Amino acid sequence: MTIDSIKSSLQDHFQTRFHKRGQVFYAPGRVNIIGEHTDYNHGFVMPMAINKGTYITIAKREDNQLNIFSQNLSEAVSIENINSFNALTGENRWANYVAGVIYFLIQHCALDGHTGADIYIYSNLPMGAGLSSSASLTIAVGYAYQAIYNLSCPKRRLAELAQKVEHQFAGTLCGIMDQMVCALAKESHALCLDCDTLTSEQVPCEFENLSFVICDSSVKHSLADSAYNDRRASCELAAQVCGEKTLREVTYDKLVSFGEKMPKESFFCAKHVITENQRVLEAKRAMRAENWHAFGALMFESHQSLQHDFRVSCDELDYLVELSKHFDGVYGARMTGGGFGGSTVALVEDQRIDEYQEYIQSHYSHQFSLSPKLYTSRACQGVRSLM
């Protein structure tokens, strides 16, 4: 389906449900192509927006009520007065992402008068698969709401409000990468984000004959949360032993000279973070030079480092990367996201993609009795109006 046909069918659904015309907005999901576990260490990340995302059809109301319908969940939630919103619990929790971002926007922009809206949500992103359906949702809703109410909230500020929603209404203590890329991404560019200064740079990510293939391993090991906290603490300890606030200030030589004074885990975690930051900067240079073989090699190196130094990979992800390494037409592959399951991302020649997908499907399901889900994308544009 084309974006135009999705848009017109959503307008029909909106009309049927709310008996008026709605305007359509869209924000993409994302994949991080290099720079893993560097964000909370004030380092560099390089996500790009993908070709799937969340569509919001929306219209103002003459009161302060919020009516939200999610086509994906077939569920409706009404909030009597959004100006005095309190977090929802239980079954309706998903609507916190929507109401939360609107609530923060109303406060931030000091909107007075009516604040209500009717909202119809449809997303073609899988939820909870690491493609950031939640950031796609909050950014799409926030952008749509500020457009219909003529608020002027810069995208960078919107990203901060959307992050605050994750923290305060969803209990997810995430960084700001996802929200920034959903909001700011430019077509054919990845977004190199400096998580220390929160400045970003659009990096050309355009090629004639290559695409990124995301492979959802369909596993999420229970270790993920506790390991995240452990690794985070190990990184903080390493920085502290080196006499710095964060690993961003620690050079590899300095780490080595203080290596004996810290637990082994801390040393290897810090080694990953420091080398990964260098890889992101090298990746940026490779992209500018359109040297996709060099870029792919950095993806493989990143995986190695996550596997052996940071130790957040798992058999399923390692196998997917190993398979990719042995497939002619793959330039690079790595796990993406927090680890212990989730997805891999590979850079693959367009003409080999069908075969690559079949190859991965058959080998992976044979080895693990699981069926992986594959998505192909190039770097897409961030949030926008489809009016």
Which residues are identified as catalytic? Answer: 178
Closest CA to 377 of 353, 356, 359: 353
**In the structure, how many helices (H) and strands (E) does the chain have?**
11, 12
Cβ proximity to Mg ion: between 76 and 173 the closer is: 173
Paired strand residues for 333: 346
Cβ proximity to ligand ADP: between 178 and 236 the closer is: 178
The interface mask with ligand ADP, positions 271-310, x = CB under 6 A, is ----------------------------------------
Closest CA to 335 of 232, 224, 171: 224
Choose the contact partner of 94 out of ligand ADP, Mg ion, none; CB within 5 to 8 A by kind: ligand ADP
**What does the alpha-carbon distance between residue 116 and residue 82 come to, in Å, rounded to a whole number?**
7
**What does the alpha-carbon distance between residue 233 and residue 227 come to, in Å, rounded to a whole number?**
10
Taking the complex as a whole, how short is the minimal distance between the CB of residue 4 and Mg ion, in angstroms? 28
The answer to whether 70 contacts ligand ADP (rule: CB under 6 A) is yes
- Candidates 40, 97, 310, 331; binder of ligand ADP (CB under 6 A) is 97
The answer to whether 344 contacts Mg ion (rule: CB under 5 A) is no
Choose the contact partner of 41 out of ligand ADP, Mg ion, none; CB within 5 to 8 A by kind: none
> Which residues fall within 8 angstroms of residue 332, CB to CB, at 6 or more apart?
295, 296, 297, 298, 299, 300, 346, 347
CB distance 208 to 226 below 8 Å: no
**What does the alpha-carbon distance between residue 146 and residue 110 come to, in Å, rounded to a whole number?**
12
Taking the complex as a whole, how short is the minimal distance between the CB of residue 94 and ligand ADP, in angstroms? 3
- Candidates 38, 115, 123, 134; binder of Mg ion (CB under 5 A) is 134
Taking the complex as a whole, how short is the minimal distance between the CB of residue 173 and ligand ADP, in angstroms? 11
Taking the complex as a whole, how short is the minimal distance between the CB of residue 97 and Mg ion, in angstroms? 9
What is the footprint of ligand ADP within residues 103-132 (CB under 6 A)? 121, 123, 127-132
Please give the C-alpha separations between residue 210 and each of 288, 353, 386, in angstroms, as whole numbers. 16, 9, 27
**What does the alpha-carbon distance between residue 218 and residue 256 come to, in Å, rounded to a whole number?**
38
Residues that bind Mg ion (CB under 5 A): 134
Residues that bind ligand ADP (CB under 6 A): 54, 70, 72-73, 94, 97, 121, 123, 127-134, 137, 172
